[in-house]
Structure 1
Amino acid sequence: MNFAELIGYAGSVVILVSLLMKSLVKLRWINLAGSLLFSLYGLIIKAWPVFGINAIIVGIDAWFLVQMVRCRDYFELSPLAEIGQEYFKKFFLYHENDIHAFFPDARFEQLVGTETYMLFRNMLPVGFLALRLDGEEARIVADYVIPAYRDFKIGVFVYDIKRMYFKQKGIKRFVAESGLAVHQRYLRRNGFRPDASRPELFVKAL
């Protein structure tokens, strides 16, 4: 197998991986990388149609990524009391399997008894935050965002932009417990730090 063939196979694998992405941003980035490899492959073997088509795809992916970066999203956090339990129940049941992949113990009846907020992005319901309050501490029962919007922007909105909102409610720290590596990365990205004695416990001071 020569160098050109390696580039071609690598491009095929990368494009295949891009189609598995649930996040549109990740899909665009990975697809761009795969098309770039295919463009290089076409250039090396002088297959100009292969080079041209994939170069155009690279440009299209780059254009969409620029638009995504420039787009100013509108976020909102609404208490369950304002939204209504029936609406939240439909949202929860529709996404129940995915919710349980991250929060296996989360049940609708349990969440109704917590301090629960629906999360909106550009007026679309994209997730929810459920807290159990204990004095100045808010323990996170569930912090869920649907797959297409897992780009950390909701986390920045909740834990940074809205921090004064929670401080005014008397909350001084968030506490989350997770054994999932992907969720732990999300927590770290949003300023949570692992507890020295319990590595699965993460704390963020407000």
Structure 2
Amino acid sequence: MNLSGAVIFCAYGFLIGSAPVSVSNGMICAIDVYYLYKIYTEKEYFRVLEIKKDDLYLKHFLAFYKNDIRHFFPDFNFNCCEDENTVSFYILRNMVTAGVFIGKKLEDGSLMVAMDFAVPEYRDFKIGSYIYGENEKYFAHLGYTNFCAESRAAKHQNYLLKMGFSLKAETGEKRIYVKPIKNIDIFKA
């Protein structure tokens, strides 16, 4: 947005013969291009770290982000980690906790996503792309065949579609989305 405005004003300054307007907006264009290049080419490291039962850090994390979690996951059960069928892990981005994933094993081999939460500073779809793309082999190795997610929040529904989920069913205002997990051979080089 900033880059397009700077390009327009750079051209405008050139057309009216105002060197200061052209030069200052040309510099803004160069700075914008530099940072956009840096954002899209910088290598970031993602890891998952399994959450053990009675994890004190998770309790504090959920309490701190409770209102934000309720916004995206209004039906989230904050006591869900007590269930033995729960799969949960922290998503680390450059070794900083950037989000939490909590799901439940279903009998058909699917994993029902209860919460896929990213802290506000890291909501740029990179975490979701890591979980549902690059790290898909992690779930295939554990024997899961599909991701399933229920959602009533429009922003979350758009996120699921962007991550490759497809709408499977609608019940009232709640929608159910599914994404098959590719059977990836983890032993291939």
Alignment of 1:54-203 (within 5 A): 54-81=25-52, 85-113=55-83, 114-135=86-107, 136-195=109-168, 200-203=175-178
TM-score (norm 1): 0.76
- Deviation track 1:70-110 (CA, whole Å, cap 9, x = no partner) reads 2111000111119x722122222222222221112324333
State how many pairs are aligned.
176
**Larger fraction in helix:** 1
- TM (norm. structure 2) is 0.82
Distance 2:70 2:16 in 1: 48
Contact 2:150 / 2:177 at 8 angstroms: preserved in 1?
yes
Distance 1:181 1:197 in 2: 13
Whole-angstrom distance in 2 between the partners of 1:94 and 1:36: 41
Percent identity, aligned pairs only, is 34
1:128–1:56 Cα change, 3 Å: same
User: Aligned pair 1:205/2:180, yes or no?
Assistant: yes
Distance 1:70 1:201, change over 3 A: same
Deviation at 1:112, TM superposition (A): 5.0
Contact kept? 1:77, 1:118, Cα under 8 Å: yes
State the shift of 1:40 in Å: 2.8
What does the per-residue CA deviation read over 1:43-66, in whole Å, with 9 as the maximum and x for residues that have no partner? Answer: 333332222112111110110111
Deviations along 1:151-174, one digit per CA (max 9) or x if unpaired, are 222122111222222122221111
- Mapped partners of 2:164, 2:102: distance in 1: 18
Q: Structure 1 regions of 5+ residues with no counterpart?
A: 1-29
Kept in 2: contact 1:119–1:127 (CA 8 A): yes
Q: What's 2:185 paired with? A: none
Partners of 1:105 and 1:88 lie apart in 2 by 18
Do the aligned partners of 1:78 and 1:118 also contact (CA within 8 Å) in 2?
yes
| Change in CA separation of 1:130 and 1:179 when aligned onto 2, cut-off 3 Å | same
Deviation, structure 1 residue 150: 2.2
Q: Is the 8 A contact 1:85 1:112 kept in 2?
A: no
- Runs (4+) of structure 1 exceeding 4 A deviation are 196-199
